[in-house]
Chains A and B, each alone.
Chain A
Amino acid sequence: MTFSASSPRTSPLAAVTRLFGRMEAGLWFPIGVVLSLFVFFSLSTSAFATLRNFSAVSGQAATLLIVCLGATFIVLMGSIDLSVGAIVLLVGATSITVLNAYDIGYLALPFAALLGAALGTVNGLIYAKGRIPSFIVTLGTLSVFSGIALTLLDGRAIQFNAVGFEDIAIGQLIPRLPNIALWAILAWAVMVFIGARTRFGRYMYLIGGGEQVARTAGVPVTRYKVYAFAISGLLAGLGAILAVARLGAAGPSLGSDLLLNSLAAIVVGGTSLAGGVGGVHRTLIGVLIIAILDNGLNLMGVSQFLQMIIKGLVVIAAVLVRRTSDAGQVVK
């Protein structure tokens, strides 16, 4: 039982100051990390701070961001989605097969989104209705979806032959900005709005902050859990078709790095795995940290293996630092 000992000094103004204090600790720290990484890599390698490289980074980061958006809601409500990478692989493989067999053109986009949503709904139904921990459910479907996808691909990379389809990803409606990054930023804006301004967003926070409280008060918890997984799947599907368009092909390794990168980006951004704290707006920062780290280390010629080590340490350090800085703030 925790009673705050601050009853004598609860002027409304003090509350506002405290809220700001918490915002700074939670949000400014990852932004600081982004900026320091930026400065560090700019000084270390001349190839980093160039427009060309920013185009490249934004293209690489876009898929990760799109996939992370939905997964952030899942983490926000206190669950976890390990299967996003597998959904990307399966949707990518299916879409490219369909795209090559039928001339559906840009209709591949809604097709991929709906397929992703369907796969996410499967996750959500098993999790919410079957009352199985989401970790287990998505661990299982991770394997199932990957297996189906690899069967479909027969272990090979398939290229698509729809002419001009890659424009949706690598075309540049805005000069220097690949379309995939544009879509990612738009999707981010929409999701930030959903997170902050809608019933769905509010319920995600409530379920993550106190599922028992929400359930006791009559919040349709089960239904919204399914919605969240459906949205996560939908965005993974979108991410998949855009990634395929960008790469020109779907291969067995599509999405394989998303499992770890997505969780790392969400957590580094400041959404707590315990649920109820954080939000989609923060995930952008997490994605930037991961993407800049990847790109900068590559440019510096650091070996892949050392990169893995550094990335892992950065994730742990980022969370560790924030945990101690929040310790006195959030009593929970």
Chain B
Amino acid sequence: MPSSYQQEEVRPESDAVGNLLEVRALSKSYGPVKVITDVSFDVPRRSVVTLVGENGAGKSTLFNILSGLTRSDSGELRLAGNVYAPTSNSHAAMLGVTRVFQEQSLVHNVPVYENLLMGEEARFTRFGQWVDRKAMIAAAHRIIEEAGLDVDVRRQTGDYDFSTRQSIEIARACLTPTLLRGLKEPLILLDEPTSALDRRDEEAFFDLVRKVRAYGSLLFVSHRLSEVLNISDIIYVLKDGEIVTRVTPSETNEHELHGHMVGRERAADYYYEGRQNARSDKSPALKVEGVRLSAGGPVVDLSVQPGEILGIGGLLDSGKSELGKAIAGVTPPLEGQVSLGGRPAARPNVESLISAGLGYIPAERLVEGIIPAFPVGWNLSIGSGDIFSSLLGLWLHRKERRVAQAHIDALAIRSATPGLPMQRLSGGNQQKVVLARWIERRPEVLILDNPTRGVDAGAKQEIYRILRDLTDEGIAIILITDELLELLGLSNRILIMQHGGVTSEIEAPAHAKPEEQDLVARMLPSGKSPRADHPSLKTEFLEAAE
């Protein structure tokens, strides 16, 4: 056996009391947008602590800070009593904080044991170069056994299905710190660990949690409240970047938790609910038929009427953003057809749909929505070559400037001029430029994916007003959003998606909006239903523009 490899006895420390992790007054903002504000909480030694909250409540940012991916603006972290300031993910791991990401980080084309021991190869290396495979396999086998998994560590990682791979990753994060590095009290961060697990692996996972809890602590993020209530010792509820409450499972229930998560005054004025158009029987502005996002996945049909806002909600991995992209033809679906304003149905293609009267605003504004280094006017005219160039192909600079200035005035895009680089505007003003891009085209249908992500509260309301103005003109809007209140406040009708399919449809007239708790409950997978595995549905891990 290589001398540097020592097996550690897994035994609870007897003298450990108090908190393993203390978070004090942590704040973080991106530009004008506050993501988390003055967050304080404790993770006691040998406990399971869970953070729950809506999408965008700041959970991912918090995890990013704890695992060294981002720095907080202010506040203090203490790990086992010492100041804890990780500078990178590997630094955090060295200090004893490991993280399981929502997106898998395993390498597919190497054996399982190499993945399990990645970064630890030095322990198994003798004479500088020679790797002791046998010892590695033995160590990896021990980890797998400890985790209660049925996996042959010598097989290729890619041979195992999504759920098993997720289990392998969890096992790696939970067990390598202790088994290999001899860490007495690891802190393990788990970001929605069970969302990809099938039933069998889930049981193994809960067993593993109990084992790890005997000596270390776990900090969870999860949407599955029933599960949260089962395994947690303490539950913190995050809302709009603040901790709103701390409860223990014995003193609460699922319904109450839902209430804490969303319990925010929904001001009808904020969403201009009074201006919501009544539904008409006009012929639909957009009809979507038989759209399938992934092979073997469900089929989506929907239609929107002129002047209507159709809201689409669901968890991050529900496929709602993918549906938006598919309808707009940005990433055409596997199958299915879209027809705009009574035109013949056709496979969606972004160029022809846009020239026929569709507008699409992507969620990732800085990557897909705008070119930050280019001027406001240029960003406004992207995709409108038909409007801003003559028949001979000359670009109409003067018209571009004039139109840009008109929209800057009309939409109150503050501190903007047509020639100003886009990156100098705040998120809300950038988004108004993107809106102006489509307003100028006088579209029939707009598809908006999280239009107010990374936008401050004031600008949000202005965007809502603009959306109401657009519906007054008879424009149909499909609103895909992670923000529950926005979904409720703006929509005439709400579709809830899970795993690439629409699972429920709810009417939301201005005078009888559905309950927030009801929506949340519909988004969550019902109980322990067998999880359809959708490895192809990319889990949007980053609540990027938080």
Q: How far is the CB of B512 from chain A (nearest CB, A)?
A: 36
Cβ of B369 under 8 Å from chain A: yes
Tell me which residues from 191 to 238 in chain A have a Cβ below 8 Å from any Cβ of chain B.
197-203, 205-206, 209-210, 212-220
Cβ of A6 under 8 Å from chain B: yes
Q: Which of A7-15, A24-32, A173-181 contacts B (4 or more CB under 8 A)?
A: A7-15
Contact (Cβ within 8 A) B382 A217 = yes
Interface 1/0 per residue, B368-394 and A, CB below 8 Å: 111111100010011101001100011
Cα–Cα, bound, A246→B355 (Å): 48
Q: Are A213 and B368 also in contact (CB < 8 A) when A219-B382, A219-B383 are?
A: yes
Q: Are A213 and B370 also in contact (CB < 8 A) when A12-B417, A203-B385, A219-B383 are?
A: yes
B contacts, CB < 8 Å to A:
30-32, 330, 350-351, 353-355, 360, 362, 366-374, 378, 381-383, 385, 388-389, 393-395, 397, 415, 417, 419-421, 423-424, 426-427, 437, 454, 544-545
A-B pair count, CB < 8 Å, reads: 111
Which of B370, B373, B397 lies in contact with A276, CB distance below 8 A? B373
Q: How far is the CB of A122 from chain B (nearest CB, A)?
A: 23
Q: Are A6 and B417 also in contact (CB < 8 A) when A212-B367, A213-B368, A217-B382 are?
A: no
Contact size range, A: 35 or more
Q: Are A4 and B424 also in contact (CB < 8 A) when A15-B419, A202-B395, A216-B360 are?
A: yes
Contact (Cβ within 8 A) B385 A216 = no
Q: Are A199 and B385 also in contact (CB < 8 A) when A206-B378, A220-B351 are?
A: yes
Contact (Cβ within 8 A) B354 A197 = no
Cα–Cα, bound, A1→B542 (Å): 12
Q: Are A216 and B368 also in contact (CB < 8 A) when A10-B424, A198-B394, A200-B393 are?
A: yes
Cα–Cα, bound, A116→B59 (Å): 57
A210 neighbours in B (Cβ, 8 Å): 370-371, 374
Cβ of A327 under 8 Å from chain B: no
B454 neighbours in A (Cβ, 8 Å): 1
A contacts, CB < 8 Å to B:
1-7, 10, 12, 15-16, 19, 197-203, 205-206, 209-210, 212-220, 276-277, 330-332
Which of A218, A331, A332 lies in contact with B354, CB distance below 8 A? A218
Q: How far is the CB of A156 from chain B (nearest CB, A)?
A: 43
B426 neighbours in A (Cβ, 8 Å): 3, 7
Q: How far is the CB of B422 from chain A (nearest CB, A)?
A: 10
Contact (Cβ within 8 A) A214 B397 = no
By beta carbon, the residue of chain B nearest A196 is B395
A213 neighbours in B (Cβ, 8 Å): 367-371, 382
Please classify the interface of chain A as helix (H, G, I), strand (E, B), loop, or mixed, using the class held by over half of its residues: helix
Count chain A CB atoms within 10 A of each CB in B355, B383, B437 and give the residue with the most: B383
Contact (Cβ within 8 A) A3 B32 = yes
Between-chain CB contacts (< 8 Å), 24 pairs: A1-B544, A3-B32, A3-B426, A7-B415, A7-B426, A10-B424, A12-B417, A15-B417, A197-B397, A198-B389, A198-B394, A199-B385, A202-B378, A203-B385, A206-B374, A209-B374, A210-B370, A210-B371, A213-B368, A215-B350, A216-B368, A219-B382, A219-B385, A220-B351
Contact (Cβ within 8 A) A1 B545 = yes
By beta carbon, the residue of chain B nearest A194 is B393
Cα–Cα, bound, A331→B424 (Å): 10
Beyond A197-B397, A216-B330: 12 further Cβ-contacts under 8 Å? A3-B32, A15-B420, A15-B421, A198-B394, A200-B393, A201-B395, A205-B374, A213-B369, A218-B353, A218-B354, A276-B374, A332-B373
Contact (Cβ within 8 A) A331 B373 = yes
Q: Are A209 and B351 also in contact (CB < 8 A) when A3-B31, A15-B424 are?
A: no
B417 neighbours in A (Cβ, 8 Å): 12, 15
By beta carbon, the residue of chain B nearest A5 is B31
Which of B32, B360, B389, B423 lies in contact with A2, CB distance below 8 A? B423
Cα–Cα, bound, A210→B366 (Å): 10
A5 neighbours in B (Cβ, 8 Å): 31
Contact (Cβ within 8 A) A218 B350 = yes
B394 neighbours in A (Cβ, 8 Å): 197-199
Cα–Cα, bound, A219→B350 (Å): 9
A212 neighbours in B (Cβ, 8 Å): 367-368
Cα–Cα, bound, A206→B350 (Å): 17
By beta carbon, the residue of chain A nearest B364 is A212
Which of A206, A277, A331 lies in contact with B382, CB distance below 8 A? A206
